[in-house]
């Protein structure tokens, strides 16, 4: 692609705007800064903006559509992700032979537990204009130059997304209660029906929130490809710690490069 002179502008933790060449700025911890632009809200607005409290990092992360929010929830659910920032920087460049600079602000900066970085743009296939495609292509090129991954993502699977969205309602650590959590780990150690196992521990009204929290944390697991129900089979996670999920992020970024 005939682009050159990549520049990067971001807002640091003190609220100061910083800018410089991509090759100089890329080691910055963008997750510690603020959005490079605000999230607009006005009467008659067709998209929905807001802030999502992410259990990953215990911070609020902005979104500009329900689709962005759902991708954000999936990133928060992925055990390999340690930080997410929205509107993390403004990337600019020039086409060869042209003086006018072109700019693009990616939707999300994602840092994984191994230190690797993923830059994400959220845009459904049917809403990509030629100029947007060119910006995504240039952003992917810039990311390759500094060793970052890049994905343009679109619509998510409706069933698994509904399941993860439901579990996200129980993501806050305050939901965890002992010894209920310990009893649930024992009951589901060999696998059992969701409601059957909850009843074996106690009153489902008190037990189910703790169970959903353990499913969110992926200490216990369930098939998310089918809608959660009373008969869903819950079992122990295959392994503990970061990386145990082995796929949530890959499902979240299944669309695009």
Looking at the DSSP bridge assignments, the partners of residue 19 are: 9
Looking at the DSSP bridge assignments, the partners of residue 34 are: 11
Peptide bond into 98 cis (omega under 30): no
Helix-strand-coil split of the chain, %, nearest 5: 35, 25, 40
CA distance 45 to 52: 19
Residues 6+ apart with CB under 8 A from 83: 31, 56, 57, 109, 110, 111
* pLDDT at residue number 143: 97
C-beta separation of 198 from 111 below 8 A? no
Return the H-helix or E-strand segment holding 90. Answer: strand 90-95
* pLDDT at residue number 43: 65
Q: Is 4 helix (H, G, I), strand (E, B) or coil?
A: strand
Whole-Å CA distances, 245 to 36, 72, 74, 207: 31, 16, 12, 23
Q: Which residue's entry shows tokens 């605000």? A: 38
* pLDDT at residue number 240: 42
* pLDDT at residue number 96: 76
* pLDDT at residue number 247: 44
* pLDDT at residue number 3: 80
Give me the tens of pLDDT residue by residue for the chain, a chain 257 residues long: 688 789 999 999 999 999 999 999 999 999 999 999 876 666 666 668 899 999 999 999 999 999 999 999 999 999 999 999 999 999 999 987 677 899 999 999 999 999 999 999 999 988 899 999 999 999 999 999 999 999 999 999 999 999 999 999 999 999 999 999 999 999 999 999 999 999 999 999 999 999 999 999 999 999 999 999 999 999 999 754 443 344 444 433 332 32
């Amino acid at each position: 692609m005939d682009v050159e002179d990549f520049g990067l502008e971001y807002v640091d933790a003190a609220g100061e705007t910083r800018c410089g060449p991509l090759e100089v700025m890329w080691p910055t911890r963008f997750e510690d800064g603020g959005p490079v632009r605000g999230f607009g809200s006005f009467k008659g607005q067709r998209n929905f903006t807001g802030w999502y409290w992410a259990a990953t990092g215990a911070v609020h992360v902005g979104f500009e559509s329900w689709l962005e929010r759902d991708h954000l929830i999936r990133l928060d659910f992925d055990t390999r992700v340690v930080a997410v920032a929205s509107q993390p920087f403004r990337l600019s460049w020039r086409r060869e032979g042209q003086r006018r600079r072109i700019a693009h602000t990616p939707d999300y900066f994602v840092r994984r537990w191994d230190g690797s970085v993923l830059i994400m743009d959220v845009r459904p296939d049917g809403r990509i204009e030629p100029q947007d495609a060119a910006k995504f292509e240039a952003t992917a090129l810039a990311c390759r130059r500094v060793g970052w991954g890049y994905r343009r993502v679109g619509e998510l699977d409706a069933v698994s997304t509904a399941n993860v969205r439901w579990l996200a309602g129980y993501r806050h650590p305050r939901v965890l209660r002992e010894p209920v959590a310990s009893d649930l780990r024992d009951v589901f150690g060999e696998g059992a029906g969701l409601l059957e196992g909850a009843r074996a521990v106690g009153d489902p009204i008190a037990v189910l929130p703790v169970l959903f929290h353990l499913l969110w944390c992926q200490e216990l697991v369930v098939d998310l490809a089918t809608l959660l129900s009373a008969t869903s089979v819950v079992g122990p996670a295959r392994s503990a710690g970061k990386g145990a999920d082995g796929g949530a992020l890959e499902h979240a970024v299944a669309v695009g490069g």
